[in-house]
Structure 1
Amino acid sequence: MKHIDGGAAPFLEGILPQIQSFKTIAAESERILEGDTMSSHTLLLITKAKGELIIEDKPFLLSGKSAWLLLPGMRVEVAASPGRTIKLYRLSFDLYRESSHSAERKIFELERSFPVHGLLGADLSVLQRLILRFESAYTAGGHFLQQHVLMELLAEVLNSERSPELPAAIGQPIELTIRFMQESYQTDIKLEKLAELAGMHPSYYSQLFKQRMNKSPIEFLTQLRMNKAKELLLVSGPSVREVASQVGYQDEFYFSRRFKENSGVAPTHYLKRKVPNVISLSFPYTDHLFALGVTPCAAQIHPLLPPVAKSLKLPFHAYETWEIGRQAFLSVKPDLVLCKANVLHKAQEHIGDVAPIIAVPWKELDLFGHMKAIAELLGREKAARDWISQYEAKADQARGIVQAAIGSASVTVLRIMPGAQRIYAARNIGHVFYRALQLPAPAALQSELDRHEPGTGLTWLPASLDELGNYESDYLLLAAASEEDAKTFMVAAVGHEAWLKHPAVRANRVRQIDWANWMIYAPNAILHQLGEAVQMLAGKRYDPLI
């Protein structure tokens, strides 16, 4: 009895849910619902059953797990078979749709329909995980969180009906409970609830979990909570009571004891510890660690960087699959993991129980902001100040050499890619030219730079060959990832009017730079780039690393 009325994807737009009731029901050999007429939308998630469900006098056999969406006005009966038990979750809610609004008010009307009703085809393991999240929020009295999880539930119901194929890993019992703990660690989680979610007896579930993760479910949950607590202490510095509450402990003294057992120090002394073993999941941040005098115990590295004890083979892009296993992280016993925000979720999924994970903002901060943020986490503020001071002195020296050779000549930095080009701003490739050497940018680029704090927000602007004329300058620097990309671009450019009219082309001041050496926006990398820029523009050897 599954009905899809169409238009599922946009159905939730403009919807405001109002929760009416939530119950967990377990009964043996009796009727649970006796011809009840639903006054609201109702989601039934049946997790254990041998019996019968009757909707509008039409019977359905219950055996195992199932999920049902009932509309207002539907008459429903649920009964267990003799000697059998039925366990279900019943979530009743109303939906209100915005019908009109003005500057002063919004008007909502009761929505009695739903694109899907009857027996649902959604992934039951995913629905059960979300129901347990809802139960935790309902017990804690978190109204807004309840509404948020309910909307997730409804979206899951609608999306799965349209696209039933889900990644197989989501439905696997152990991974499902891990994800639930990662999402709901701040709530009261018992072993029995995790085993129920996995569909196993608690002792068997614990056995399988330990085989998979090399620790029990409760040990995993405790370690996850402790790492979340450390992240809060490192980043925001709240009180111990606030930290305890935010990671699932109502008794701050019990939390403090567990924290000290786990970390060797009390929460109040955690920030005063010595520089820890650090893992870096980003080679720019690995570069920062070296600049601060900290050698990471494992890291993603670049050929320009010194070797470390363990090089982590991580994907360059955040959306790519991690092929590295947990043992690579566990073996080095990290105290802290640094990463960019775009890999934070993936890192938390893989190693959230291994160590606290701090995402240092990338685009929101410039290179100096990255260094200061990392230094503050590690208690290396003086090392950061010293490095920045030394860098500024080297940049002043390089600026003097370049300006003596080319004066105030302007520069455009053009990144060449298959089928596209980018004009770089005052970070990444552009940092050395526009900030260190303080060379003028093209007027069109400068007008965009003026809208941002130096080195933040704007990384590049898209530019076609037709638009190249908007970025006139004395020098044009081309950065291509491969010779093939450079040749393809030049074939298209040599006969193009905008290319032929560009001042740098007419003056024979087009230079190529190696993308592999200029793509890194990090301390030691920009020192290499600074020396290369002086050689290229002034024709003089300058080594800022000496």
Structure 2
Amino acid sequence: MSLKNVPVLNTALPGRVHCRLRRVYKQMVESFVIAENSDDYSITVIVAGHGIAYIGDKSYEAECGTAIAVAKGSLITFRAAPYHSMHMLRIEFSEEPVVQAAGAVKKWPFEESARLNLNRHTLQMTANLERHAHFELEQEQTFEVQALFSEFLSKLHELHGKEKHSVAQPWIEQALLYIKNHYREPLTRKQLAAISGVSAEHFSREFKKHSGKTFKGYVTELRIRAAQEQLLGTKSDLVEIAMQVGYQDGFYLSRKFKQFVGAAPTIYLKKPKKIASLTYNYSASLLALGVTPSVGVVSSWIFNHFRGVIKEQPAKWHDNVPNCVFESIRPFKPDLIIDYTSTEERSTELRAIAPLISLPFEELPWDEQFRYIADVVDKGTEANDCLNRLQALIEEASERLDREIGKRGTAVVIDLGIETCYVYGDKWGRGTHMLYDSLQFTPPECLLKDGQCTIGYIETSLEAVPAFAADHMFFGLPEHGQERSDVLAFMNKESWRRMAAVQNNHVYFIKNDIFYGFDPASTEKQLMDIMRLMTRR
């Protein structure tokens, strides 16, 4: 929505912010998006997904229900969390806003940048603004939207003021950090009060006011959550786990565990669990093991592939990380949450609901991640059967490539776009784990330099794609028609036609939804598609 020739609304209500709304538009981030330095101020509301916002030397957790306010002239970069996308509403406005309050005039109220937690009212106002995104409005409607935005900015200022005044006393934050780092050691209220420099009674009152729990209850929850995660993820014995989480013996851990969880550790391990899976790949891995999550993030291809299973065992499915993950999964009362390794803030929020199993997906091979999840849900035998079947298909495919192609040569996978292209290494799915690890193709030389192949992906321009030329080139095309047409037109340029892969007819177009995952079902389908494309059958 563009509002270029509309006068500023000169409302004179106390606490009202005055400015000129310029644009309201939607953005989606799958990896990086950078908004260049601008003469306009901006507020970006995260309406789905999560990631990180970088402004100068500052970084902010950007998740659903938060807004990032940035002064003019600042460069802001958003990065979505691994294998997630962020959906954002970007609001740009000019003229330095002022807030009239008690006769005083204040300038831009959010410093150079700020992260704001939106409440239900401001989220609803965001939804109202979003309805006008990208639309040209009649003058009467334009004044209405300007008025709505003026009220929205004023409410944000009020929220920001409340947040600044409700910040916990510094010693509370220091105490929480100390507990987090030392909960495996003996801890007492008296000890923490002394470290904080307050009386034990004052410590107890302020601690509960800030955390919502007593000191003892807070420490117990940390220890039992850690014990649950170790039971599920390591299968260590109780004595070893007790020592690692801050208890002196397994019997005492077992008693506290039963009080907190409602079942003894041995019974807890055998008990069927309601699972919340917050990634495409882990939801697909669970389905491949015959386990249906109670809440799951799943791709459209996987949803259709397992449609029969999903229909028989209804669950709450999301095509992206839920808008507000905490509120979305908490009502289902999951016994276990599975996610990629994320920020400490997000992990703490999730652990308040259930034990969290989080894996560093860029550091572990995909099949090790699959086996780990299988062990957590006691499906080790099923995982072995699945991987053995896939290995047989890989061996058959390799023998066929030996006959029809011979020496493998180099291969590369690139997602093409007019603005940005993504060249994938061997730790980011997109079929590269199949090409490089299983079928024994090698990345082009430029990806091997300085370990670039192991960093996930490299951003480049459409013009620079020939620098990543390989014997076999797999391209993912944009989903949208106009950008797709523009990319295909660009590929007719001489610099592209000179590439050996083009001249040898070794360019292959892949389907993005199929080549997104690195779960067993996606991997098998990727193998079949690679073989069909390379053998032209």
TM-score by length of 1: 0.54
Q: Secondary structure of the residue that 1:225 maps to in structure 2?
A: helix
Name the amino acid aligned to 2:372: A
Question: Following TM superposition, by how much is the alpha carbon of 1:387 offset from its aligned partner in structure 2, in angstroms?
Answer: 0.6
Measured at CA, do residues 331 and 523 of structure 1 come closer, stay the same or move farther in structure 2, by a change above 3 Å?
Answer: same
Q: What is aligned with 2:445?
A: 444
Q: Which has the larger radius of gyration?
A: 1
Q: What is aligned with 1:360?
A: 359
Question: Following TM superposition, by how much is the alpha carbon of 1:466 offset from its aligned partner in structure 2, in angstroms?
Answer: 6.7
Question: Following TM superposition, by how much is the alpha carbon of 1:518 offset from its aligned partner in structure 2, in angstroms?
Answer: 1.3
Name the amino acid aligned to 1:388: L
Q: What is aligned with 1:336?
A: 336
Once the two structures are superposed, the pairs formed by residues 162-201 of structure 1 within 5 Å of their partners are 168=164, 171=167, 185-186=183-184, 188=187, 190=189
Measured at CA, do residues 431 and 178 of structure 1 come closer, stay the same or move farther in structure 2, by a change above 3 Å?
Answer: same
Q: Secondary structure of the residue that 2:229 maps to in structure 1?
A: helix
Once the two structures are superposed, the pairs formed by residues 143-154 of structure 1 within 5 Å of their partners are none
Conservation of the 8 A alpha-carbon contact between 1:481 and 1:516 = no
Conservation of the 8 A alpha-carbon contact between 1:198 and 1:205 = no
Conservation of the 8 A alpha-carbon contact between 1:244 and 1:255 = yes
Paired-residue identity, %: 21
- Aligned: 1:530 with 2:527: yes
Q: What is aligned with 2:434?
A: 432
Q: What is aligned with 1:309?
A: 315
Name the amino acid aligned to 1:311: W
Measured at CA, do residues 252 and 384 of structure 1 come closer, stay the same or move farther in structure 2, by a change above 3 Å?
Answer: closer
Measured at CA, do residues 508 and 171 of structure 1 come closer, stay the same or move farther in structure 2, by a change above 3 Å?
Answer: same
Conservation of the 8 A alpha-carbon contact between 1:301 and 1:312 = yes
| Partners of 1:234 and 1:380 in 2: CA distance | 12
| Partners of 2:469 and 2:356 in 1: CA distance | 44
| Partners of 2:413 and 2:201 in 1: CA distance | 58
Q: Secondary structure of the residue that 1:311 maps to in structure 2?
A: strand
Measured at CA, do residues 336 and 467 of structure 1 come closer, stay the same or move farther in structure 2, by a change above 3 Å?
Answer: same
Measured at CA, do residues 530 and 231 of structure 1 come closer, stay the same or move farther in structure 2, by a change above 3 Å?
Answer: same
The gaps in structure 2 that reach 5 residues or longer are 1-159, 304-309
- Aligned: 1:283 with 2:280: yes
Name the amino acid aligned to 1:337: I
Q: What is aligned with 1:370?
A: 369
Conservation of the 8 A alpha-carbon contact between 2:229 and 2:357 = yes
Name the amino acid aligned to 1:222: T
Q: Secondary structure of the residue that 1:518 maps to in structure 2?
A: coil
| Partners of 1:221 and 1:323 in 2: CA distance | 30
| Partners of 1:266 and 1:461 in 2: CA distance | 48
Conservation of the 8 A alpha-carbon contact between 2:298 and 2:320 = no
| Partners of 1:402 and 1:396 in 2: CA distance | 10
Residues 131-184 of structure 1: per-residue CA shift (max 9 Å, x gap): xxxxxxxxxxxxxxxxxxxxxxxxxxxxxxxxx9996598268x9697776566
RMSD: 4.5
Name the amino acid aligned to 1:171: V
The gaps in structure 1 that reach 5 residues or longer are 1-163, 316-321, 541-546
Measured at CA, do residues 462 and 442 of structure 1 come closer, stay the same or move farther in structure 2, by a change above 3 Å?
Answer: same
| Partners of 1:188 and 1:334 in 2: CA distance | 30
Residues 41-78 of structure 1: per-residue CA shift (max 9 Å, x gap): xxxxxxxxxxxxxxxxxxxxxxxxxxxxxxxxxxxxxx
| Partners of 2:203 and 2:484 in 1: CA distance | 62
Question: Following TM superposition, by how much is the alpha carbon of 1:229 offset from its aligned partner in structure 2, in angstroms?
Answer: 1.7
Q: Secondary structure of the residue that 1:414 maps to in structure 2?
A: strand
Q: What is aligned with 2:223?
A: 225
TM-score by length of 2: 0.55
Q: What is aligned with 2:507?
A: 510
Identify which of 498, 501, 521 aligns with 2:498.
501
Question: Following TM superposition, by how much is the alpha carbon of 1:198 offset from its aligned partner in structure 2, in angstroms?
Answer: 13
Q: Secondary structure of the residue that 2:361 maps to in structure 1?
A: coil
Aligned length: 359
| Partners of 1:494 and 1:179 in 2: CA distance | 58
| Partners of 1:292 and 1:253 in 2: CA distance | 34
| Partners of 2:375 and 2:397 in 1: CA distance | 29
Residues 288-308 of structure 1: per-residue CA shift (max 9 Å, x gap): 111222222222211122445
